[in-house]
């Protein structure tokens, strides 16, 4: 034992998470599906933000996109069709310390989940909501969804969808207390990464609509934008999505847009001639409902009973 140090204490290193720490089950989407790009980006953002897997929850409803919880190595909740957002709000209300993500699609969110979509935006609880929008019901094999373009042939409308597609951006921007609205394509990794990372850093409900490829059932939904970049309008601003020169060169059509300008965001969202990509709106000061719903969480059962008894005393005769 001569010559050995008597201090046997060991340094305790801070945990560092790698991409492997966020890997879940093997993703089983169709080859070429844009969902893979979103999944990989979520893994990267979690790694770069060093979010503890045991403090992270991924919630979803039903659909191809809603398999996201199975492919992320965190806690997950695969819920009912159209009910991802109420479940996520419930998790955040009782466990505000958890990092909550929502994976949902154009059918799951904008059709059967339209009511929860509106109220969840208004509640503005701190979570990232990723909408995988491919303009079709993919999981059930090509039925018309709310964002299916008019004239698109589907199994439910063989002669073409009869109504104009829903515009999720204008609807979301029109909801009171909206705080974060962005739109990006899945085939531009740097832009997709910056949008999801900024959404995660925002405190409130971050609504990120992802224009997502479905090469099997709605190949025509994204192809026009991929083949003709001039149909995309890149929103640039010092308070918008960070992007370098290599990304800017990919977009011949650009517009300086301040995301604090709600009227400007609505104008951009209503323009049907080009698809806006980037950050449309950001209000970091919007009230966050969990600040109210989380009150009293640390009280003991005895303290809670005392408060209830006191309230009931007001009705005593």
% of the chain residues with pLDDT over 90: 87
Q: pLDDT tens across 71-101, in order? A: 999 999 999 999 999 999 999 999 999 999 9
- The predicted pLDDT at position 13 comes to 59
Distance, in Å, from the CA atom of 44 to the CA atom of 23, rounded to the nearest integer, reads: 10
CA atoms lying within 13 Å on the CB side of residue 116: 22
Secondary structure (DSSP) of 58-107: EEE-SSSGGGGGGGBSSEEEE--TT-HHHHHHHHHHH-TTSEEEEEEEHH
Q: pLDDT tens across 233-256, in order? A: 999 999 999 999 999 999 999 999
% of the chain residues with pLDDT over 70: 96
Question: Average pLDDT of 121-137?
Answer: 98
Distance, in Å, from the CA atom of 182 to the CA atom of 186, rounded to the nearest integer, reads: 13
E-only strand ranges, the chain: 56-60, 75-78, 99-105, 127-133, 180-185, 205-211, 232-236, 254-256, 275-282
Q: Which tokens go with 31?
A: 């080859």
Gyration radius (Cα) of the chain, Å: 22
> Do 310 and 107 meet the contact criterion of CB atoms below 8 Å apart?
no
Q: Would you list the domain boundaries of the chain?
A: 25-288
- The predicted pLDDT at position 2 comes to 44
Backbone angles phi, psi at 282, to 5 degrees: -150, 120
Q: What is the CATH number of domain 25-288?
A: 3.40.50.970
Q: Which tokens go with 256?
A: 């300086």
Question: Average pLDDT of 132-150?
Answer: 96
Question: Average pLDDT of 188-202?
Answer: 98
Residue 145 has pLDDT above 90, yes or no: yes
Question: Average pLDDT of 301-313?
Answer: 88
Distance, in Å, from the CA atom of 12 to the CA atom of 22, rounded to the nearest integer, reads: 22
Q: How confident is the model at residue 317 (pLDDT cuts 50, 70, 90)?
A: confident
- The predicted pLDDT at position 7 comes to 55
Q: How confident is the model at residue 295 (pLDDT cuts 50, 70, 90)?
A: confident
Q: What pTM was estimated for this model as a whole?
A: 0.91
Distance, in Å, from the CA atom of 210 to the CA atom of 113, rounded to the nearest integer, reads: 17
Closest CA to 165 of 119, 218, 122: 218
């Amino acid at each position: 034992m001569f010559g050995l140090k008597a201090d046997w204490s060991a340094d305790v290193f801070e945990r560092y998470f790698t991409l492997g720490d966020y890997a879940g089950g093997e993703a089983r989407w169709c080859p070429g599906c844009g969902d893979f790009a979103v999944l990989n980006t979520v893994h990267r953002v979690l790694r770069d933000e060093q979010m503890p897997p045991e403090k992270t929850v991924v919630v979803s409803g039903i659909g191809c996109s809603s398999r996201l919880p199975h492919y992320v190595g965190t806690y997950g909740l695969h819920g009912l069709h159209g009910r991802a957002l109420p479940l996520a709000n419930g998790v955040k209300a009782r466990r505000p310390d958890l990092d909550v993500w929502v994976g949902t699609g154009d059918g799951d969110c904008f059709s059967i989940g339209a009511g929860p979509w509106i109220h969840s935006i208004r509640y503005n609880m701190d979570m990232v909501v990723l909408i995988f929008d491919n303009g079709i019901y993919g999981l059930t094999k090509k039925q018309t969804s709310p964002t299916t373009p008019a004239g698109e042939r589907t199994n439910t409308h063989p002669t073409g969808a009869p109504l104009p597609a829903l515009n999720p951006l204008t609807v979301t921007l029109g909801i009171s207390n909206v705080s974060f609205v962005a739109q990006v394509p899945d085939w531009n990794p740097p832009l997709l990464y910056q949008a999801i990372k900024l959404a995660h850093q925002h405190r409130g409900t971050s609504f990120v609509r992802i224009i997502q490829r479905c090469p099997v059932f709605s190949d025509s939904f994204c192809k026009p934008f991929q083949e003709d970049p001039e149909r995309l309008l890149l929103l640039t601003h010092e308070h918008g999505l960070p992007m370098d020169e290599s990304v800017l060169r990919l977009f011949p059509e650009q517009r300086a847009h301040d995301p604090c300008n709600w009227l400007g965001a609505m104008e951009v969202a209503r323009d049907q001639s080009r698809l806006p990509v980037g950050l449309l709106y950001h209000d970091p000061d919007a009230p966050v409902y969990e600040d109210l719903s989380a009150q009293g969480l640390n009280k003991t059962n005895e303290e809670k009973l005392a408060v209830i008894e006191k309230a009931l005393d007001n009705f005593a005769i």
